[in-house]
Amino acid sequence: MKSKIRSGNSFFKLQQIVLLGALVMNGLSCKKFVQVSAPITGLSSTSVYADNATAAAVLTSIYSNMMAGENLSDGENSIGILDGLAADELTYYYLNDASVQDQFYQNALTSSKAYYWTELFKETYVANAALAGLQASTGVTASLKQELIGESKFMRAFLNFYGVNLYGSYPLVTTTNYLTNNVIQRSPITAVYQQIVSDLKDAQSELSPIYLGGDAQTPSSDRGRPTKWAAAALLSRVYLYTNDWADAEAESDTVINNTNLFSLDSLNKVFLANSTEAIWQLDRVNPGYNTYSGYRFILTGSPNLNHPFYLSDSLLSAFENGDERYANWVDSVKANGVAYHFAYKYKIGTYNVNNPVTESLMVLRLAEQYLIRAEARLMQGNIAGAQQDINVIRSRAGLPNTVANNNISLHAAILHERQVELFTEWGHRWLDLIRSGEVSSVMSVVTPQKGGSWSMNWTLCPIPAAQIALNSNLTQNPGY
């Protein structure tokens, strides 16, 4: 994050708390989740929330940690890559090497692995600690306190959204009380979504309508902190996933209609830092890389240990002739007579400490909002409105208007546009297959081709066996 704070003492405090946040999160990775020991952590200390600078840095530490390593946000262990392997987007080169990537690729996860679990709860813990600290603070100004509480609730909702979609019924952790968390049960999916909606509605009213810098107070051109528009964008997705079509349309409307901030950018500018399509991005924190995803996706020769996956034939065949997304977001390299196609949404793939920062990791963007609104409109019987939104996306891709004109063909057309628009981003394809009910029809064909055996049980990740051993109130997902 690009801090606007200039005071030497304040900057020193900010550095201290960002480092503290990183140390706490790294330290927590060695502890038990959801079962954790009584935390001795500065994140809960009143001194952290004694002034504006240190309080803002707690939230900054969450965003920084999301980009600090190859985790659920970015790189080879990200949701975009692992769920792309689980679905029909990516091909894994080192078949049967028993790696995490291979397990996702063959839809053969095991309860001996934690996968996303630990990081989801580490970051949720920080969000909850921030909420508790801010609500008790008397040293943070009222306006900043409101902003940071909004950011904390937004982040908790964001993490819970992926938790409930990756694991199904999910432990709803809303406190830092380790005695409660040590014996917590999995909450019903409906209860988790209710909490997500509540947090996002609060965040909408608490978050800034403009982008703010590292101090969470100064206006900025950087789109690395969530705003009320990010809350609306995520809320529209949540309503889509819960079949609340009217509210999904209403929330996407609020984002799409904010033309002062958002517009569809040209294809090769979409993933640049602070593009007009970005609703929320994550900034680089690793010197030498713009994004780990760019580094992992871009091939310069045959796949290797650092670049072990490439785009699947299934995804490549989904592009229509003349689709400029194929021309701009897909590239290839030929090695030993074989052409390997790779995702080229991010153009910076080399490690160089002198690399300029030109790209940021996209988390929420405007194109998804058009596709959400198209689906929401269709489900309410507004065929013309759904066509209009699809055609906005197709027009940018250099394609003619859709010929789909009824419920069945339009629904297929929307899912197709999502497939070729959002590929390798945040697991969209995998989650779309599941929520649309098409996962078995697709994966019963694809998984055997990948060397695995398909079962509907594989739509959810396993609860780590180690967690169930520590907390008997946790139950395992079927099939594990």
Per-residue pLDDT tens for 369-395? Answer: 999 999 999 999 999 999 999 999 999
Tell me if 162 sits within 8 A of 120, measured CB to CB: yes
Structural domain boundaries enclosing 186: 8-72+116-220
Model confidence pLDDT, tens digit, residues 152-168: 999 999 999 999 999 99
User: To the nearest whole percent, how much of the chain has pLDDT over 70?
Assistant: 90
Q: With b meaning 16 or more CB within 10 Å and e meaning fewer, what string describes 383-417?
A: bebbbbbbbbbbebbebeebebeeeeebbebbbbb
CATH code where residue 41 lies: 1.25.40.890
Report the alpha-carbon distance of residue 21 to residue 35 in Å, rounded. 20
Least confident of 44-48, 126-130, 279-283, 409-413: 44-48
Report the alpha-carbon distance of residue 204 to residue 208 in Å, rounded. 8
326 part of a folded domain: no
Tokens of 74: 């970015």
Residue ranges of alpha helices (H) inside 46-90 are: 52-67, 79-86
Give the confidence band of 70 by pLDDT, cuts at 50, 70, 90: confident
Report the alpha-carbon distance of residue 412 to residue 242 in Å, rounded. 19
CA dihedral over 113, 91, 342, 97, signed as positive or negative: positive
pLDDT at 286: 78
CA dihedral over 102, 105, 107, 113, signed as positive or negative: positive
Tell me if 391 sits within 8 A of 402, measured CB to CB: yes
176 part of a folded domain: yes
194 part of a folded domain: yes
**CB burial class (10 A; 0-12, 13-18, 19+) of residue 379?**
buried
Report the alpha-carbon distance of residue 205 to residue 152 in Å, rounded. 13
pLDDT at 45: 63
Model confidence pLDDT, tens digit, residues 443-467: 999 999 999 999 999 999 999 999 9
Quick check: 7 pLDDT over 50? no
Report the alpha-carbon distance of residue 437 to residue 135 in Å, rounded. 42
278-282 and 330-335 beta bridge pairing: unpaired
Report the alpha-carbon distance of residue 401 to residue 379 in Å, rounded. 20
260 part of a folded domain: no
Report the alpha-carbon distance of residue 316 to residue 338 in Å, rounded. 15
433 part of a folded domain: no
Residue ranges of alpha helices (H) inside 100-141 are: 100-105, 117-136
Pick the more confident residue, 286 or 194.
Answer: 194
Q: How many CB atoms lie within 10 A of CB 28?
A: 22
Vertex 193, ends 190 and 196: CA angle to 5°? 155
Tokens of 106: 């063959």
Task: Kindly report the backbone phi and psi dihedral angles of residue 77, in degrees, each rounded to the nearest multiple of 5, phi listed first.
Answer: -105, 20
**CB burial class (10 A; 0-12, 13-18, 19+) of residue 185?**
middle
167 part of a folded domain: yes
436 part of a folded domain: no
Residue 89: closest CA among 333, 423, 455: 423
The average confidence (pLDDT) of the chain is 91
User: To the nearest whole percent, how much of the chain has pLDDT over 90?
Assistant: 83
212 part of a folded domain: yes
Residue 242: closest CA among 191, 193, 186, 192: 193
Total structural domains within the chain: 1
Report the alpha-carbon distance of residue 138 to residue 141 in Å, rounded. 8
pLDDT at 44: 55
Task: Kindly report the backbone phi and psi dihedral angles of residue 310, in degrees, each rounded to the nearest multiple of 5, phi listed first.
Answer: -150, 170
Q: Which residues 6+ apart lie within 8 Å of 464 measured at CB? A: 111, 112, 113, 114, 115, 117
